Amino acid sequence: MKSILENREGLAREIDKVAEVASYLWQKGWAERNGGNITVNITEYVDDEIRKMHAISEVFPIGKRLPFLKDCYFYCKGTNMRMRDLARHPMENGSVIKIIDDCASYVIIADNPVRPTSELPSHLSVHNYLLSINSPYKASVHTHPIELVAMSHNKRFLEKDVASHLLWSMIPETKAFCPKGLGIVPYLLPGSVELADATIKELSDYDVVMWEKHGVFAVDSDVMQAFDQIDVLNKSALIYIAAKNMGFEPDGMSDEQMKEMSLAFNLPK
């Protein structure tokens, strides 16, 4: 059977990046069993031949109407599929879906009828939001980074911007590469429309949001950059925990040092 990636260099490159990030998520211990999911808006790579492809599944409801997604195409990790398997075989552990005219349902078009992630309501709501604000962001990553999730078990870190300021102050690059910080979504049922709605609300101010006691959700231009934002935040969490394990509360960079840094890198205050 011919893969949708065949003779489509641009699309194949995006899926290669998804596979590479999936292997990082597994290596970092953030992707136990089927944990985490990735979706990428691939509509820019869709040609006439793809447009003519027939559905290989029934029509599935999204659970929400998302008007900006009309005729959009997404690569989605499959539900219950493992990141470590997706890293080697992205088109067997994920699929390409097309949003149909009612903007409230989708069909699978390639390569195999692999049912998309259970977090599809959140991923698609986010892509709909990104298109509504003309954002260049195309990829979203949900994963379970150990140290960041551990921090979300403490109420203090769930207060607005408390975790962001602490994480930024651990090492200068964190603010440079995750300038908006970490938004917080209070615990909600995985896979629910309520979680999707709470996520898009937070994403108007942040690129990465914490799902309390569950994981994080990040958006960026491509999957590699979404991963990088989570990686720098989790690195800071590791430094904080290492200091605590040595028996002291880390000082963190001073307000002066943070200000100097923000100015030099042209970051928001």
CA 130 – CA 137 distance, rounded (Å): 7
Q: Is 117 among the residues that bind ligand 13P (CB under 6 A)?
A: yes
Residue span binding ligand 13P (CB under 6 A) among the ranges 74-82, 93-101, 159-167, 255-263: 74-82
* Minimum separation from the CB atom of position 94 to ligand 13P (A): 10
No. of H helices and E strands in the chain?
10, 9
Binds ligand 13P (CB under 6 A): choice among 77, 123, 127, 138: 77
Query: Is residue 190 near ligand 13P by the rule CB under 6 A?
Result: yes
If the CB atoms of residues 19 and 83 are measured against Zn ion, the closer one turns out to be 83
Tally of CB atoms within 10 A around 26: 20
Burial class (CB in 10 A: 0-12, 13-18, 19+), 99: buried
Residue 215 binding Zn ion, by CB under 5 A: yes
CB of 36 to Zn ion, least distance (A): 6
Q: How far is CA 187 from CA 19, 152, 205, 210, in A?
A: 29, 10, 19, 9
Does 116 bind Zn ion (CB under 5 A)? Our answer is no
Task: Choose from Zn ion, ligand 13P, none: what does 117 bind? Cβ within 5-8 Å by kind.
Answer: ligand 13P
Q: Which stretch binds ligand 13P (CB under 6 A): 112-120, 155-163, 176-184, 254-262?
A: 112-120
Q: In what order do the strands lie in the sheet with 94-99?
A: 60-61, 105-110, 94-99, 73-77, 37-41, 139-143, 215-220, 208-211, 182-185
194 touches ligand 13P by CB under 6 A: no
Question: Cα–Cα distance between 21 and 231 in angstroms, integer?
Answer: 11
Using CB under 6 A, pick the residue from 29, 65, 70, 80 that binds ligand 13P. Answer: 80
Least spacing, CB of residue 140 vs ligand 13P, in Å: 12
Residue 34 binds ligand 13P (CB under 6 A): yes
- Cα–Cα distance between 128 and 70 in angstroms, integer? 9
Using CB atoms within 10 A of its CB, is residue 204 exposed (0-12), middle (13-18) or buried (19+)?
A: exposed
Name the site residues for ligand 13P (rule: CB under 6 A): 34-37, 77, 79-80, 117-119, 190
